[in-house]
Structure 1
């Protein structure tokens, strides 16, 4: 896909995944790049995570390569200048006064082992919250996080630097028939519901899967809450009861990182990590679904006015209208 030909930018407003919590231990730094900006994610000695711009304002050294964390301070590897978690210069080893210019910091949220970053080109603080993989579905399937195996590392997968725009990937959230043809679903998929929630920041869809063996009864449902054009929180209920977080985060004007996270229910009495037989099943049956989607996304051409089947018109147009609201937003007060 040539993302440069798309009628929308790679810098939408919203929440986007930038990693998993267990990737960043206390007092460590991880260099990252998203939305064309070099950043660092670092965890203080006390375990608090922060994200800020990557280059020291002194002579531009990258703090993610050779920088050190002490308390909540980062020491530049080039000349020992120190910056705190608020981006403030707190120490210059060879002079008494510090500089007033701050490093840019970013709003982040750690939720159920996943790291989310708020992106807004206008610089505004978060305008809305995020769905929650457990709390947002309690009226539908009330299960706590403790009922699932830890997600990292066996329930996670990253597809780095794919030439795919996030918005294209989330159009699957209203596309019932792609389950049959892309993922070879043995059940008959059907879009049952779609609506807006939480002040217009979440688009919800509910799919039902009808079983030929059981007189076309719905034997499994798939409930999706899509946040903006960055994250999709999904719950399967019925034949299987697992949860999937799919996220797409722009790196630059041409590519995105794609993230998949699986919460698989524990076996009765098992309080350990995900056993090997389930690891193999998750890797083979669940994590590979994005590989199947990518076989289409990598070569897909964006169609501004698509020819749609009658059953798809209402939901597809509603989703595109919803997605259009996350670009070029004016600054908040």
Structure 2
């Protein structure tokens, strides 16, 4: 996909996944890059995760490459300057005076083992919250997080450096027929419901899958897409797992895709995901993104697509809603 030809930028406003919590243990600093920004993520002794601009204001060293966590701060690997989790220079080891210049601190949320970062080109603070994989679906399914195996590391997979715009990936959320042709679905998909929620920040769809034999709906799944970054999906019926799919721009040409699977625990099993379930997840679920990527990598964006009658309302509503996450004015104090 030629991202330069798209009618929208790679800098939408919203929440985007940047990691899984298990990747950043206490006392470690790691490098990240998203939205064209070099970042450092580190977890202090208090267990709190911080994400900041990565380059030390002294000589420009990257704090994520060799930087050390000191208390709740990160130390530059080049000359030992210490930067707090609030972005302040709090120590220069060879002089008493510090500098009055801050590193940018990025808003983040950690929930159900995933790390999300707020991105807004205007620098405005978060304008809305995130759906929750469990709290947001209580009217649809009352299963709790404890009833699922831990997600990390065996229920996770990422695809870095993909020439794909996040908005394209989330058009699947209203595309019932692609399940049959891209994923060879053994059941017939049908879009049952569609609405916009939570002050226009969540696009919700409900799909049903009919048995090809009985023609009865055997499985439904509820999807909550927030902005153009994350899609929370709960399956109920023939399967009862949950999936978080996320797409986060790295720069103006590539994105990183994340897939996270919550699989129900077997009765009286309090351990990690058993090997047979891991293989099933890999074969049946994680590979679906590989199948989508065969299309996404080579797709040309059609601004005014020729749509089947059943798709007109859903695609039109989704694209109109997605347009609201670009070029927002700054939030006034």
Please give the range of the TM-score, normalised by the shorter of the 2 chains.
over 0.9
Q: Which residue of 2 aligns with 1:102?
A: 102
Task: Give the Cα separation in 2 of the matches to 1:263 and 1:66.
Answer: 34
Task: Give the Cα separation in 2 of the matches to 1:230 and 1:127.
Answer: 15
Q: Shift of residue 126 of structure 1? A: 0.4
Task: Give the Cα separation in 2 of the matches to 1:153 and 1:76.
Answer: 29
Q: Which residue of 2 aligns with 1:18?
A: 18
Task: Give the Cα separation in 2 of the matches to 1:13 and 1:290.
Answer: 24
Task: Give the Cα separation in 1 of the matches to 2:295 and 2:84.
Answer: 45
* 1:133-282 paired onto structure 2 within 5 Å: 133-214=133-214, 216-282=215-281
* 1:309-320 paired onto structure 2 within 5 Å: 309-320=308-319
1:297-322 residue CA offsets vs partner (Å, 9 max, x unmatched)? 00000000000000000000000001
SS across alignment from 2:322? helix
Task: Give the Cα separation in 1 of the matches to 2:136 and 2:65.
Answer: 39
Q: Which residue of 1 aligns with 2:286?
A: 287
Q: Shift of residue 191 of structure 1? A: 0.4
Q: Which residue of 2 aligns with 1:112?
A: 112
More displaced 10-residue stretch of structure 1: 105-114 or 68-77: 68-77
Q: Shift of residue 212 of structure 1? A: 2.1
1:48-81 residue CA offsets vs partner (Å, 9 max, x unmatched)? 1000000000010111111110111111111111
Q: Which residue of 2 aligns with 1:129?
A: 129
How many residues in Structure 1 have an aligned counterpart in Structure 2? 332
Using the size of structure 2 for normalisation, the TM-score is 0.99
Task: Give the Cα separation in 1 of the matches to 2:326 and 2:221.
Answer: 28
Q: Which residue of 2 aligns with 1:31?
A: 31
Task: Give the Cα separation in 1 of the matches to 2:47 and 2:93.
Answer: 26
Q: Shift of residue 97 of structure 1? A: 1.1
Aligned Cα root-mean-square deviation (Å): 0.5
Task: Give the Cα separation in 1 of the matches to 2:227 and 2:307.
Answer: 23
Task: Give the Cα separation in 2 of the matches to 1:37 and 1:183.
Answer: 35
Task: Give the Cα separation in 2 of the matches to 1:42 and 1:231.
Answer: 23
Q: Which residue of 1 aligns with 2:305?
A: 306
Task: Give the Cα separation in 2 of the matches to 1:263 and 1:176.
Answer: 23
Q: Shift of residue 12 of structure 1? A: 0.2
Q: Shift of residue 41 of structure 1? A: 0.6
* 1:68-83 paired onto structure 2 within 5 Å: 68-83=68-83
Q: Which residue of 2 aligns with 1:65?
A: 65
Q: Shift of residue 136 of structure 1? A: 0.4
List alignment gaps of at least 5 residues for structure 2.
none
Task: Give the Cα separation in 1 of the matches to 2:221 and 2:140.
Answer: 11
Task: Give the Cα separation in 2 of the matches to 1:186 and 1:95.
Answer: 69
1:213-260 residue CA offsets vs partner (Å, 9 max, x unmatched)? 22x111100110000000000011100100000000000000000000
Q: Shift of residue 95 of structure 1? A: 1.5
1:22-45 residue CA offsets vs partner (Å, 9 max, x unmatched)? 000101011000000000110002
Task: Give the Cα separation in 2 of the matches to 1:80 and 1:41.
Answer: 17
SS across alignment from 2:139? coil
Q: Which residue of 2 aligns with 1:93?
A: 93
Task: Give the Cα separation in 1 of the matches to 2:312 and 2:150.
Answer: 39
Using the size of structure 1 for normalisation, the TM-score is 0.99
